[in-house]
Structures are given as structure tokens and as C-alpha cells.
Amino acid sequence: MTIHAAVLLITLSGLVFEIGLTRIYSATIWYHYAFVAVSVALLGWGLGGVALHLLRRFLLPTREKASFLAVCYAAAIVVCLWTIVQFPFRLELLPVYFVAPLVPFLFAGMSLSMIFHLNPDIASTLYFADLTGASVGALAVTVLLEWFGSESTVLLIATAPLGASALLSKRYRTTALFGAFIVVALAVSNERTLLFRVTPGELKAMHRHMQENAGARLAQTGWNAYSRIDAVEGFPPPNLARLYIDSDAWTNAQEWDGNIESIRNLRDWYRALPFRLVSNPETLIIGPGGGSDVLVALGSGSRKVTAVELNPLMLRFMRHYGDRAGNIYNRPDVEVIESEGRTFISRTHQKFDVIFLGFVDTWASVASGGLSLSENYLYTTQAFQAYYDHLTENGILAIMRWRADVPRLVSNAVTLLGVEEASKRTVVLVEKRDTPDDPAQMIFLLRKRRFTDLETADIMEWSLANPIIVPGRHADAPYDSLFAGRKTLAQVIADSSQRMDPVSDDSPFYFATERPWGIPYRTRQALNSLIGPLLVLLALFIIFGKPKGKRSGPYAASIVYFACLGTGFIAVELTLLQNLTLLVGHPIFTLSILLFTILAAGGFGSALSGRVPPRWACLAVAALGAISAFGLPKLIPVLLPLELNVRVAIAVALIAPFGVMMGMPFPQGLRRTGKGSLPAPPFYWGLNGIMSVVGSVGTVVVALIFGFQIVMLAGSACYFFAAIASGPMTRPS
């Protein structure tokens, strides 16, 4: 029991540390790098097995050594956080930010693989403890981040491997208990001492703005599993505070007395232009943030505003300002819905005169921790269809973003309505005021009916905006050729300097516009620095891993088997989480419920693994994946209108069978290692970890190019090949 408890504590701490690290990296560096933090975590777990395999002649496995490595793991967590705090991010420090978390995960991987090596006969129950610990971590991290913040959470979770060390060996028990006392003291006092308070790097807008405004001061900070929000006060009136999401995307909390007449002048603001086309509308605002768009809607005559905000921290921060902000989110004419906008629009039966999305993105990593390229279900063609269906006959969808967003928004509209109707119902304007420090904003309008000649003539006269597209009046290139029929949408997309193909739920990477594949330059840099050395290491590992004088056939089959399991598991898991995030409607639910379910079910499957041959378990996953690849995209839109508790229950029911079957093959394979042509378990632990990194990177790239349906099919194919390899691997030497 002590061995199983130690494994549980190590993996629990690993998942919490990994998620806490993605939150810190998203808030201090840039959301793209949070993905690399996850990859580094997976790599570290794998490298622990690699290191143990390479040092097998000098580092004979014992429980005492596993206990010592757990102490090293805990100490490395604290050192990693201290490094990030002491060296705020600059581009030249990027290698440091990659290596710092690699060390603790390396020690964790070494400790775990040593435990598995010492106890191959109970690999199934150890793997059960492994996945159970990770699943408990998935539940715990949401609470820990909200209660203590990322820094204190990372410190507190270092007590778990210290507890594991105390369970594994009496020799290090006193050291572990004393270390746990020190770590808890540091975590509890961190809010006062700020010894471990991370600060945003130089790439972050918050860092720049506070340097440019001498009076700016940090008033409050909040964390949850979705983002970090900082309230910075001291900006010129009427700004009460600027609320930064992960230190970059920001929204302003405005000073207001609560009197509608005092904000009537907002009707003349550029952001209010869409409201000139309707009178006394019922307005839906998705992502209201600090409430600027709510003020515009009320000042422009909206009789009711429905504000749908995903992040509970944002609502809490705004309500903190109370009367000074006009109690904007407690007014009778403002209904606040805490939900994801796409989920709300799919569930409600209301129709709106104006549906308004103003700069709705956070530049934060997604909570699943796996894909951090800011995929967004608010800007897909399926989302446009949902908005369009919830407009009144005179209604308008209004999206405010930057000029660079025009190609993709137009492409979505044409895909939805066809060229002829899109040309009659689409207006695109860009602000006349434009400076390097404050670039012009763009307004995209899609109307339920066609614009009239009188309306388009009036729009052409608006003094605050220049036309990009106005039906029958004006169209910039290449939209003039598109709407005149001289070019098809496919030709316009092919000729564009950026990716402007329509965005779908299957590949919701709206912001991935860089050619050829949409991967941002910073992410390409990070991946290149990670994948190249990784592939070299993998090749050397496989070439020199075979025991001397043994047959090559079973060894080669084992390489295929464990490599396919590592790649397939991460591909199927991330695709399931991605699809079901849309279903449950909130990334925090994805983390706390769905990730918990798939890991807990995997642990249950591991415990039962002796009853199902590995071939049949792999084939079952392959079949489930193939069915889901085609079935989930059709099923999820049908389920979106259901109540939250029903959707969560369905999501759990959908994901649990995958977890059970995916938890079986790995421990079954480990039980057969260490004999004949097959190296000891640490070798395969390392191989599985390395291939998990390859799988996570491959998932991103394939999803960007082909969509998640193909990713799921690729993951299913991995399990199919693992099933084929399981036979030769287990034949007697």
C-alpha cells in the first residue's frame, strides 16, 4: 500500500505542477509557450526512464534511491519556481524557461520508473495508482489555483513527492517531513512576502503599460484554472482600472454614476456605429469584460442587455468596484450569464436585435493544457450559423476586431450564405483614426436581411469610418472580385498572403493565419528547438536499446507497440477533450471533470487489464476512436441545448469507455518487459514519454492542417498498429 500511495502522490503532484506551470507561462511569457510547458512535462517524465535505462549499471534500483529521487523532485519544483521568479522573461532567457521545468519532471520520471522496475509483477495496480493520482490532481488543481494562486499552488504541491519519499523509505523520512514544513510555510506566507510572485515578461502588454504610466499600480490579482486577471489602477479617467487577462489582453473598467443619461454621448463613439442601424434593440454581448460594450449598448438605447461572460474572475473584479462602476453587472436592465458564448447561443430560445462580440479573445492557453494555439469556437462557421439563427428579422451580428481579421470573417460569411447573399448582407468598416500606438479598429456586420440602398448610402457618409465592404457601394480588393463573380472563394484564398480559409468546429484555429500551416512564428521556434533534439535522442535510444545477442523481432515489435501507445493515447485524449469542451461549455469543466474522468477510468482499466488481452484492448480503442471521429461532430451540436448537468453526464459517459480501454495496454506491455529481447521497464517508460511529446506536437500540426477528425483517426490507427505489434512482442524468445 505504501508503494501505491507513493506513486499516487508523485503523479498527483505532476499533473498539478504541469497545469500550474501552463498558467504561469501563459501569464508571464505568451500563451503559445504554455503548450511547450506541457511538452516539456511529458518529455521529463519520459527522460526519467531514459536516464534510468542508461545508468542501469551505476544506479541499481532500490526503494531508498526512489525515495531520494522523490526528494530531489520536490526540491526541483521549488527551484524551478524560484528561477522563473528571479528571472522575468526575456527572449534570450527562453532556454532557461524550457530547462527549468524539465529537471523536476526528470526526477519524477526517474523515481516512478524505478518503482515500476522494482515491482513489475504489480505493474497493473501501480499504473492504476499512477492514473488515479493524476485524476485526483485534475480535480484538485482547479480548487488550488482559485484558492491559492499558481505560485502558492506550485509550492504546496511539492509536499506530495515529499510525502511519497517518506512512504518509500525511513531513511529520508525526517528530511521529507522537514522539507514539507518549509514548503508549506513558504506557500502560506507568499502573499505577504511575495518571495515567489511571478511578474509578466517584456513581451506582455501589462509590463509595457505599467512602465509607460508612472502612476499605474497593481491593485489586485486573481487566478483560476482558466486565467490570471490583474487589476491595474492609475490610468487616466474615466478608467477605474485596466483588467489584464494573463497580463496581455485587457479590458477597461469605466467610472460611471449609473445614470443612463450620463452615457448618451457614447452613441457618438466608433464602437456604437452598429447601434445606428437599429432602434431600442435587445442586445446580446458575448465577452463583455470590463463592461465598455455594455455601456455603449445602454447609452445607444438598448432596452435590455444580456451579457455572457465566461470568466467568473472578471465578474468578481467588476463587482468589486460597485457604485464607482455604476453596479453595471447588478442592474435590472443587464442580465449577466456566466457561460461560454457559443454554448449560451446554442441553448437559448431568445432572438436578439444585436449580437455583439468586441475583441473576444484572451490570448490565454486553453485549460486542457494540450493545445495552446488559442483555438476558439466563437468564430467558426457553425458559430456564425448559430448567431444568424438567433437574430431577429432586422437583426445584426457585429464583430469588432482588427483589420487583419477581415479576410477570415468574410470567408466565414461567404461559406455560410454563399457569395450572392453575403455580398448583400455584409458590411465591413475600419476606423479612420489610426496610429502605431492605437491601431484602427474594424467592425464586421452581418445582417439577417439585405441592407437597403438607404442604409448603405447612410453608412458611406459615416464620418468615423472608412468602408472596406458596403453592399452595392464599395468593396476593397480582393472582395470586389469575389462579390462581382470574377474570382471564386477558393481562388481568393489561394491568392491571399495569409490563411483566410473558413474556420470550422473541426479545426477552430481562427487565429492561425500564418502560412503555410498557421503555426505562429513563436511556436515554430519553440517546437523546432524541442523536436529536433528529441528525434535524435529517440533514434539513438532505439538503436542502442536492444539487449545484446537477443532476437530483433520481438524488440522491434515492442518499439512499435509502446511508441504507438504513447502517440495514440495523447492524440485520442486531446481530441476527446477538445470536442467535449464545446459540449460542456467551459474550459474549467474540461479540466476538472473530463480530464479527471479519462484518467480515473484509465486507472480502473489498468486494474482490470489482466482480464483483457492487449490486442483486444487496442482494437477496442481503435474502434471507439473511428466511431467517435465521425459521430461526435454530428452528436455534439444536437446535445448543446441540453441543461449543463445533462451535458456533463453525457460527456462523462462518452469519455469513460475510452479511459477504461486506454488504461489497459500499457501495464499489460510492461509486465512482459525485462525478459529475453525486451529491455527493462524504464526503457519503455522513456520511450512512451518521448512519443507522448511527439504525439502532442503531431496533434497540433495535424489538427491545424486537417482537423481533429483526422487526428482522432490517426490516434485510432496508432492503437490498431499497437494491436498488430502486441502478438510478435509477446511470443516466446
Quickly state the pLDDT bin for 731 (edges 50, 70, 90).
Answer: low
Supply φ then ψ for residue 224, to 5 degrees. Answer: -150, -175
In a domain, 90, yes or no: yes
Among 184-188, 353-357, 703-707, the range scoring the smallest mean pLDDT is: 703-707
Quickly state the pLDDT bin for 730 (edges 50, 70, 90).
Answer: low
For the chain, the farthest-separated pair of C-alpha atoms sits apart, in whole angstroms, at: 88
Round to whole Å and give the CA distance between 565 and 672: 15
* Residues of the domain holding 59: 2-196+516-730
Q: Are residue 338 and residue 450 in the same domain, yes or no?
A: yes
What is the sign of the dihedral through the CA atoms of 252, 254, 260 and 262?
A: negative
Supply φ then ψ for residue 357, to 5 degrees. Answer: -125, 110
Round to whole Å and give the CA distance between 268 and 248: 28
What percentage of residues in the chain have a pLDDT greater than 90? 63
Q: Name which residue leads in pLDDT, 193 or 42.
A: 193
Residues 656-665: pLDDT tens digits? 999 999 999 9
Mean pLDDT to the nearest integer, 532-554: 83
Q: C-alpha dihedral over 708, 712, 715, 720, to 10 degrees?
A: -150
Q: Are residue 491 and residue 522 in the same domain, yes or no?
A: no
In a domain, 208, yes or no: no
Q: What's residue 521's pLDDT? A: 72
Q: Are residue 483 and residue 626 in the same domain, yes or no?
A: no
In a domain, 214, yes or no: no
Q: Which of 125, 94, 112, 155 is nearest to 7 (CA)?
A: 112
Residue 188 sits in a domain whose CATH number is 1.20.1250.20
The answer to whether the bond into 95 is cis (omega within 30° of 0) is no
Q: Are residue 358 and residue 427 in the same domain, yes or no?
A: yes
Tell me how many domains the chain contains.
2
In a domain, 528, yes or no: yes
In a domain, 474, yes or no: yes
Residues 463-522: pLDDT tens digits? 999 999 999 999 999 999 999 999 999 999 999 999 999 999 998 888 888 888 777 676
Quote the pTM value.
0.89
Q: What's residue 199's pLDDT? A: 87
Q: Which of 358, 432, 418, 363 is nearest to 388 (CA)?
A: 418
Q: Are residue 530 and residue 479 in the same domain, yes or no?
A: no
The b-or-e profile of 246-259 (16+ CB within 10 A means b, else e) is: bbbbbbbbbebeee
Quickly state the pLDDT bin for 531 (edges 50, 70, 90).
Answer: confident
Residues 104-162: pLDDT tens digits? 999 999 999 999 999 988 888 999 999 999 999 999 998 999 899 999 999 999 999 99
Q: What's residue 363's pLDDT? A: 54
In a domain, 130, yes or no: yes
Quickly state the pLDDT bin for 36 (edges 50, 70, 90).
Answer: low
Q: Are residue 243 and residue 164 in the same domain, yes or no?
A: no
Chain-centre distance for alpha carbon 643: 24
3-state DSSP helix/strand/coil % of the chain, to nearest 5: 65, 10, 25
Q: Name which residue leads in pLDDT, 546 or 712.
A: 712
Residue 445 sits in a domain whose CATH number is 3.40.50.150
Query: Cβ contacts of residue 707 below 8 Å, gap of 6+?
Result: 504, 506, 507
DSSP β-bridge partners for residue 304: 282
Residues 3-33: pLDDT tens digits? 999 999 999 999 999 888 888 888 887 655 6
Q: Are residue 428 and residue 538 in the same domain, yes or no?
A: no
Q: Are residue 486 and residue 418 in the same domain, yes or no?
A: yes
Residues 579-602: pLDDT tens digits? 888 888 776 677 788 889 999 999
Query: Cβ contacts of residue 572 below 8 Å, gap of 6+?
Result: 621, 625, 658, 662, 712, 715, 716, 719
Q: Are residue 462 and residue 568 in the same domain, yes or no?
A: no
What distances in angstroms separate CA 182 from CA 119, 175, 370, one per listed residue?
A: 32, 11, 32
Q: Are residue 185 and residue 264 in the same domain, yes or no?
A: no
Quickly state the pLDDT bin for 373 (edges 50, 70, 90).
Answer: very low
Do 491 and 1 touch, CB atoms closer than 8 A? no
Round to whole Å and give the CA distance between 48 and 36: 18
In a domain, 97, yes or no: yes
Q: Are residue 246 and residue 351 in the same domain, yes or no?
A: yes
Q: Provide DSSP, 271-314.
A: GGGGGGGSSS-EEEEES-TTSHHHHHHHHTT-SEEEEEES-HHH
Q: Are residue 527 and residue 634 in the same domain, yes or no?
A: yes
In a domain, 203, yes or no: no
Q: What's residue 374's pLDDT? A: 45
Q: Is 499 helix (H, G, I), strand (E, B) or coil?
A: coil
